[in-house]
């Protein structure tokens, strides 16, 4: 087992903790694991195995003890003991993506490719997202010529960057870029905007600077809500403004709406905001408002973005 793998898995386990189901179980008694942890950190595997074995016997519901016992046994080549410890870790709620990965490593080093592939499939099914580790880990070297291995690496890559590989998250890419913005009807300069992908392509961030109202700036955060199957935009600015839009791509147009929002004068305002892709270097942004529940509409603004 490589040092890098140990560092990554130890970090994931420390952050991930137990599953929600395991967390609801009766709390384990507080045990001093400092000696075991020190042996684990220094890769004194024989000592770590002995100490974690004692800890796991005293607190069998703690997945971390079983997991680290499995790593210590695996690192000494004690395959059967490692498998038993990892299976116990799974049964008490240790993070499945990590434990199934280690089970795959043990089976691979035991010359059991089918079992190893099945464990890797389960690992990526449960969210394992380290494709570089898969392709570099010496324990998995025997699997890399297996045709099934490539699809597992690809799924890990998709887990690592889910928005990059989900088509819905790419529907608003036509707005990404650096833009000079003008009033559509008059051509008068209105502002500048930088639209960028952030957070692993999961969010499209707008950075707006107005020329018509000097000093006015704002940002919008746009993302696809996978749970509600819709796009959402959250607009915020330096004038204490905040607007929440929701909608989606319709006939090539990003079509956003708001609910009826209370206004300072006691009325309510519903907004309809649309983005039209007009070729690779031009986007029209058109906003309308209604104060009668959508019976009639008035233009709030009409802007055209020209790519710099």
Say if residue 178 is in the same domain as residue 273: yes
Q: At a CB cut-off of 8 Å and minimum separation 6, what does 245 contact?
A: 232, 233, 234, 235, 256, 257, 258, 271, 273
Say if residue 148 is in the same domain as residue 278: no
Neighbours of 220 (CB within 10 A): 21
Query: Which among 108, 136, 160 is the end of a domain?
Result: 160
Say if residue 200 is in the same domain as residue 134: no
Nearest CA among 258, 251, 302, 308 for reference residue 277 = 251
What's the pLDDT score for residue 214?
Answer: 84
Say if residue 90 is in the same domain as residue 193: no
What's the pLDDT score for residue 213?
Answer: 84
Say if residue 211 is in the same domain as residue 124: no
Q: Could you tell me the two tokens for 251?
A: 């006939």
Q: At a CB cut-off of 8 Å and minimum separation 6, what does 203 contact?
A: 197, 221, 222, 223
Query: Which among 144, 160, 176 is the end of a domain?
Result: 160
Nearest CA among 146, 143, 159 for reference residue 107 = 143
**Tens digits of per-residue pLDDT, 125-141?**
999 999 999 999 999 99
Domain of 249, CATH number, reads 2.40.128.20
What's the pLDDT score for residue 24?
Answer: 47
What's the pLDDT score for residue 90?
Answer: 98
What's the pLDDT score for residue 29?
Answer: 55
Nearest CA among 224, 214, 160 for reference residue 190 = 214
What's the pLDDT score for residue 139?
Answer: 97
Residue 182's domain comprises 168-307
Q: Write down the pTM of the prediction.
A: 0.69
Query: How far apart are the C-alpha atoms of 77 and 85, rounded to whole Å?
Result: 13
- In the block, which residue shows the tokens 């989606």? 248
Domains in the chain, number: 2
What's the pLDDT score for residue 135?
Answer: 97
Say if residue 49 is in the same domain as residue 28: yes
Say if residue 298 is in the same domain as residue 173: yes
HEC states along 71-99? HHHHHCCCHHHHHHHHHHHHHCCCCHHHH
Domain of 15, CATH number, reads 1.25.40.10
Query: Which among 160, 185, 203 is the end of a domain?
Result: 160
Say if residue 178 is in the same domain as residue 155: no
Say if residue 150 is in the same domain as residue 108: yes
Residues in the chain with pLDDT values less than 70:
1-30
Say if residue 145 is in the same domain as residue 12: yes
Say if residue 74 is in the same domain as residue 209: no
Say if residue 121 is in the same domain as residue 253: no
């Amino acid at each position: 087992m490589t040092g890098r793998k140990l560092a990554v898995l130890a970090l994931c386990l420390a952050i991930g903790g137990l599953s929600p189901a395991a967390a609801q179980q009766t709390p384990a008694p507080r045990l001093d694991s400092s000696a075991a942890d020190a042996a684990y950190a220094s890769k004194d595997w024989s000592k770590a195995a002995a100490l974690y074995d004692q800890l796991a016997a005293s607190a069998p519901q703690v997945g971390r003890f079983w997991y680290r016992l499995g790593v210590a046994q695996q690192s000494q080549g004690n395959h059967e003991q490692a498998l038993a410890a990892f299976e116990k870790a799974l049964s008490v709620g240790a993070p499945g993506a990590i434990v199934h990965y280690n089970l795959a490593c043990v089976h691979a080093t035991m010359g059991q490719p089918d079992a190893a592939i099945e464990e890797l499939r389960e690992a990526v099914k449960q969210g394992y997202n380290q494709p570089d580790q898969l392709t570099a880990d010496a324990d998995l070297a025997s699997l890399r010529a297996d045709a099934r291995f490539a699809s597992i690496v690809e799924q890990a890559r998709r887990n690592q960057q889910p928005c990059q590989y989900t088509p819905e998250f790419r529907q608003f890419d036509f707005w990404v870029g650096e833009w000079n913005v003008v009033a559509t009807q008059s051509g008068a300069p209105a502002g500048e905007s930088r639209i960028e992908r952030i957070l692993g392509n999961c969010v499209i961030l707008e950075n707006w600077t107005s020329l018509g109202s000097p000093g006015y700036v704002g940002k919008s955060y746009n993302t696809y809500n996978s749970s509600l199957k819709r796009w959402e935009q959250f607009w915020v600015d330096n004038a204490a403004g905040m607007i929440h839009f929701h909608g989606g791509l319709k006939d090539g147009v990003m079509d956003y709406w708001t609910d009826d929002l209370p206004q300072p004068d006691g009325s309510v305002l519903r907004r309809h905001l649309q983005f039209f892709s007009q070729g690779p270097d031009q986007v029209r942004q058109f906003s309308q408002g209604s104060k009668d529940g959508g019976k009639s509409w008035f233009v709030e603004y009409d802007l055209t973005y020209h790519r710099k």
